[in-house]
Amino acid sequence: MISNWDLAKKAGIVGANRTEHFIAQLATETGGFRFLSENLNYSALRLRQIFPNRVSEDKAAELAHQPVKIANWVYGNRLGNHLPSDGWTYRGSGLIQLTGRANFRSRGSELKLRLEEEPELARNPLGAFQTAVAFWKARSISALADRDDIASVRKAINGGSNGLAETRIWLVRVRKYLNPRTNGFESPELSADEQSAVVDRLKALGFLSSEPGAFIDSDISAPLKKLQSSRGLEETGVLDEDTLYEITEPAYFRAE
């Protein structure tokens, strides 16, 4: 990504806010730059959680752990998909999780790449970065980043607020890393903004009560240990690297 950053500059992704929001969104969409292709190997329970309006209980049981069939069912006949296998062919791909034949066609046209004909291009590092930059530019997201409006940036990327808490965590960490005065991630202490975002994620994942006023303690080590224990991680009680990935991993990459 860094070696191709000139592509971002040419698209107007320059300055602190634009750069920070762009990187934070890419991290959110890819589980910390670990995945360039949507998993889709979901259990029946996970299918119902992620696609409650598109998959009934009976259908979830029928489709469970069959990624190709799942993709063709949940993405079929929408997003420009029209052939029986389009859902899988044009599944979420790249650093911005480009999804659907229409989006592959549009970004390919802008980039003069054969994305519609060769969708795997969006799943290699260069193509993934190119499509992310094109997507960002096409939706004029830099203007939202200029206002430091994280909710609107997230909506422009994802269509709603899904992933907002994860983005808040990544944005704080991006700013911490890019700010030369903070020495990157040397300090294990969480800022107030980062801790607030982590608390929101712990609530969403069920490791803290979501009842109003239920959590007022500034020490989040106990719920972090519960999360770590449930995921087979060392129970450090701090937001170490492995725990960061677990707490920010998008639901569409978790197959359980």
pLDDT given for residue 243 in this prediction:
86
**Residue 126 is which amino acid?**
L
pLDDT given for residue 173 in this prediction:
85
pLDDT given for residue 140 in this prediction:
95
Please give the angle made by the CA atoms of 173, 150 and 90, to the nearest 5 degrees: 90
pLDDT given for residue 250 in this prediction:
63
The CA distance from 154 to 110, in Å, is 22
pLDDT given for residue 189 in this prediction:
67
Where are the alpha helices (H) located in the chain, listed in sequence order?
Answer: 5-10, 16-29, 44-50, 57-63, 67-74, 86-89, 101-111, 125-138, 141-146, 150-158, 164-178, 192-204, 221-230, 241-248
pLDDT, one tens digit for every residue, the chain (256 residues): 677 899 999 999 999 999 999 999 999 999 888 889 988 888 898 888 888 889 999 999 999 999 999 999 999 999 999 999 999 999 999 999 899 999 999 999 999 999 999 999 999 999 999 999 999 999 999 999 999 999 999 999 988 777 888 898 899 889 888 875 555 555 556 777 778 888 888 888 888 877 665 555 667 888 889 988 988 888 988 888 888 888 887 654 454 5
- What pTM does this model have? 0.80
Residue pLDDT, tens place only, 113-149 = 999 999 999 999 999 999 999 999 999 999 999 999 9
pLDDT given for residue 180 in this prediction:
58
pLDDT given for residue 197 in this prediction:
82
pLDDT given for residue 212 in this prediction:
63
CATH top class, domain 188-250? mainly alpha
pLDDT given for residue 213 in this prediction:
59
pLDDT given for residue 72 in this prediction:
97
Contact of 196 with 171, CB cutoff 8 Å: no
Residue 97 has phi, psi (to 5 degrees) of 55, 55
